[in-house]
Structure 1
Amino acid sequence: MSNNEISSRVENDKVLILERIFDAPRELVFNMFKDPEHLKHWWGPSGWELPVCRIDFQPGGIWHFCMKCMDQNQGESYGMESWGKVVYKEIVEPEKILYTDYFSDAEGNIDENMPASEVTLEFIDLNGKTKLVNRIEYVSADALKTVLDMGMLEGITETWNRLEQHLNKTLLG
């Protein structure tokens, strides 16, 4: 697979759109987002693991997960946990996933102090490759700024790099 960079742009001050092409079939890229056994290998930035990953992959279903920093070289982040909760709204295999993304705690309670987002993932078939378009909408420009200031763009870049590595391993068997 080629190393493709993420293109990013902001629309209406509150919508972040990220795009990247993966050298893998659309069905496989889509499956990476629904199968906990795949997600455990790539979800989260470098040095982070997914010790908790519970998915009910259907409209109305919930994905509750914990990312944990396992890299001692990340200083104060080492040992830190970040919990998330996704509520699926629409799933069209292998084309699209719509969901609401929340910060949460270990019990799945939504953190009202952190911005939630409406996410649309589009998987576009490009003759054996897949263009992934991730549209993330926040309630305000300030909410988007909050997550960008937290390093979300860098985190997604590292996450998608890990996805590409996992796709490579999966394709090579």
Structure 2
Amino acid sequence: MSINEMNSRVENDRILVLERVFDAPRELVFQMFKEPEHLTHWWGPFGWELPVCHIDFRPGGSWHFCMKCMDQNQGEYYGMESWGKVVYKDIIEPEMITYTDYFSDAEGNIDKDMPSTEVTLEFIDLEGKTKLINRAEYVSAEALNSVLDMGMLQGITETWNRLEQHLNETK
């Protein structure tokens, strides 16, 4: 796998595994996921910003955020807001973060009608580079398919492209 290339595969019909190598040290890549001043630069697909980003980065803590489409070229999505809430389960710095990812509203109330995701992020040191493995487990194959149908794979690809840009600017 070369840098810039994301590999994806589905395991057991309900686990989406994404892998990508970033040309940056593991500690720096990990830092990008824990600090709002970094997340606001790269979280979300191209044309989307993070106007709300409240993080309590600890096991049991949460991250409440809003992604907003600021790109007029995205037509019907322009001005749209997408709220999310992450509840951290385990953090082993700089190796791993596990959390539950929810859709939410502006007050942080979890949307029970949308599928939640159990996520494990693994940061593997590759002699100055970092292999990031994202394992996202859904309650069912239908739940996984519903987020894939929403364009989640394209969204995460663009998000990780933005992460790579921010890493290059930060290094």
Determine if the TM-score, normalized by the shorter chain, exceeds 0.5: yes
Query: Partner amino acid for 2:90?
Result: E
What is residue 26 of structure 2 aligned with on the other side? 26
1:118 matched residue in structure 2: 118
SS at match of 1:111: coil
Identical positions, percent = 81
**What CA RMSD, in Å, does the superposition of the two structures yield over aligned residues?**
0.7
Letter in 2 for 1:49: E
Say if 2:34 is the partner of 1:37: no
Structure-2 residue corresponding to 1:92: 92
- Equivalent residue number for residue 14 of structure 1: 14
- How many matched pairs? 170
Gaps of 5+ in 2: none
Q: Which runs of 4+ in 1 moved over 6 A?
A: none
Helix, strand or coil: the match of 1:79? coil
The residue number in structure 2 matching 1:145 is 145
Deviation at 1:138, TM superposition (A): 0.2
Distance in 2, matches of 1:124 and 1:61, equals 24
Find the residue that maps to 1:102 and give its secondary structure: strand
Matched, 1:103 2:100: no
CA 1:160–1:13: 2 relative to 1, 3 Å? same
Give SS of 2:41's match.
helix
Superposition deviation, residue 3 in structure 1: 4.8
Q: Residue by residue, what CA displacement relative to the aligned partner does 1:82-102 show, whole Å, maximum 9, x if unpaired?
A: 000000000000000000000
Correspondence for 1:166: 166
CA shift digits 1:32-73 (9 cap, x unpaired): 000000000000000000000000000000100000000000
Q: CA separation in 1, counterparts of 2:105 and 2:152?
A: 18
Describe the SS at the equivalent of 1:143: helix
Post-superposition offset of 1:4 = 1.4
| Separation of aligned partners in 2, 1:43 and 1:118 | 18
Query: Which residue number corresponds to residue 72 of structure 2?
Result: 72
Q: Write the letter of the residue equivalent to 1:57.
A: F
Q: Output the TM-score relative to the length of structure 1.
A: 0.97
Amino acid at match of 1:33: F
Residue 155 of structure 1 corresponds to: 155
Q: CA deviation at 1:148?
A: 0.1
Shift of 1:141: 0.0
For each residue in 1:15-46, what CA deviation from the matched residue of structure 2 results, as whole angstroms up to 9, or x when unmatched? 00000000000000000000000000000000
Q: Which residue in 1 is equivalent to 2:128?
A: 128
Tell me which residue corresponds to 1:49: 49
